[in-house]
Structure 1
Amino acid sequence: MRAGKSVTERPLLFLDMDGPLIPFGSSSGHLQTAAVDSSTSPGQGNPLLKRLDPGLGARLMALGCHLVWATTWMEEANETVSPRIGLPRLPVVEWPDFRADEGPRGLHWKTRHLVEWADGRPFLWVDDEISAMDRLWVDASHPGPSLLHRVDPTKGLMNADFSTLTGWLCAAAPR
């Protein structure tokens, strides 16, 4: 544990957008993506925004974590998504320039930066692209408790996911 950090601090919850909050599944069960004009911001003209569950914000807030956007939507998450699901403005992880060949094969490009951002604090990371390599790397590199929770991108955050998050919070970071 790094100096000045405490497991009694509220855990961080890093939130990805596409997949966990905006599911890509269709009623046919096939993965579906949106064709969005790349000259616009992610929220403008995105037909998948209608898939946002307006109750997600309250459920996420009820977890008692310090919520942080960990998405390529960056500040657009606060402008477009937060109001639709009832979240306040959240801090946003600013992604540094990265090289895909940095780190071990299979390590997600977000992983190292999220561990640095957490700076020893307990954290949860909710994303649809988490792998076993990410879990191994975080276990070896992060001194505090962590949960890397992969969400099915065709379904988004479901009751079972919230049960997993709540269970981890009760065990790793009791209030």
Structure 2
Amino acid sequence: MFEQLTELVKQYGGDAVVNNPAVPNEQNEAVMEEAGGSILSGLKDMVASGNISDLAGLLSGKTPIDMNNPVVQELTGKVTGNLGEKFGLSSEASGSVAGGLIPQILGGLINKAQDPNQPGFNISDLISSISGGNGGGLMDAVSKYGGQFGLDQDGDGQVGMSEAISAVTKKSGGLGGLLGKLFGGK
């Protein structure tokens, strides 16, 4: 997932970083790398701390990706602090970079995750990346709620990763369809 995140940071970094006079040109690439790393570590921190409902709301498309979104707020704070600390940017400059990048990057990430035509970017990769490889609470949420939405493929009362992937490949909608079923979408 880090590669996809890095790609999105570069895609959206023009206005927020490159064209930002508060960011010295020689620091543009390093600032974008730090922003991408901070976003990924912020998502991991949310899973580790059990903040799964906000993340689920974001991934399901139920909550707008703006500064009122708790995930956006948390990531903005993290990125702002890291950029200020590592590059000596003012809190205003760091906040401008974070506010310009995070909603666009998260929107792009969710669009890629919901696009069944994105090879190599699926739910197992996303869960693995932000949960440190063990699935953590996100996989628990899939197991807990998945049976209610027809994801329990073998009828054992539990939804494993292979069943979630199988359900995604058998039913239309890809990740967006799966997350919509899990989190109350259409």
TM-score (norm 2): 0.26
State which structure, 1 or 2, has the greater radius of gyration over its C-alpha atoms.
2
TM-score (norm 1): 0.27
Q: Which has the higher helix share?
A: 2
Task: Return the structure number with greater relative CO, CA threshold 8 A, min gap 6.
Answer: 1
